[in-house]
Amino acid sequence: MQSLYVVYLDRHHLGDDLFLKSLAQHFADAGTEAPPCILVHGSGEKVERTLEAQGYFPDRTDGVIEVESEEQRRLVERAVREVNQEIVAALTDQVVSTVGIQGVDRGLFERESDGTLRAPNVGWVSALLKQHIVPVVSALVEDRKTGRVHEVSTVEAVQALAQALDASFDPVVSVLTIADAPGLPDGTGGTAEAAGVDAVTDEVVPNPAAVQRLTGSGLPVLVTNLQGLFTGAEVTGTRVRP
């Protein structure tokens, strides 16, 4: 089956306007040669700015804001939706076929009784991918009991989508570096083809703990950058071993 790159957009990259422009430009330059990708994101740094403007300074757990009131929950939801719109706008400006998807759309994400996040209804997302459309998915889920929408861990959202889409693709979770190299250094000035998860540090990626969780879930994980994803005949990077 065809590889599908499930791109984990972390807070560091989401907070960089130049990165979003570069992301859109790489998609546009690659054109029909771009690998199938689905972009997954949470609130990023935008939510902190939104809450601080209202006088709130909450903490994060597992990358998710700890909301203390209904007003804070609404502000977080709004921030996540706005991030989604900003990513889609950047891609659309470069004439990249894309569609913004909130995790609550068509019941995409569901929290099961055991606490596991699942994506039970991905057929329509798979259809978009097969039409060479780039889905941009937010980590939002609706609480079955209350009907309230809240943010979930982006790592959880990535896992749920990758596991659900493996019926139609070979999903590869892609984590972006903060360096110029498309992966981990091999010690000789090049990029390692593979490395253990212990080699992934905060000098390479913004959130090594996310890589550990993703690798531990049994999913293939590739540490790369935009050049590794979109430049060249094949996607390059470092495969991470448990």
Q: DSSP letter string over 136-155?
A: EEE-EEE-TTT--EEE--HH
More confident call, 30 vs 187: 30
Q: Are 183 and 223 in contact (CB under 8 A)?
A: yes
Q: Side chain identity at 78, as an amino acid letter?
A: R
For residue 61, the 8-state DSSP code is E
Q: Which superfamily does CATH assign the domain made up of 3-241 to?
A: Acetylglutamate kinase-like (3.40.1160.10)
In tens, the pLDDT along 92-101 reads 999 999 999 9
Query: What's the pLDDT at 149?
Result: 95
- CA distances (Å), origin 58, targets 22, 47, 141, 207: 31, 10, 20, 20
Predicted model pTM: 0.95
Cα 161 from Cα 173, distance rounded (Å): 10
In tens, the pLDDT along 49-87 reads 888 888 888 888 888 888 889 999 998 999 999 999 999
In tens, the pLDDT along 6-55 reads 999 999 999 898 999 999 999 999 998 999 999 999 988 878 888 888 88
Percent of the chain beyond pLDDT 70? 100
Give bridge partners of residue 117 from the DSSP assignment.
111
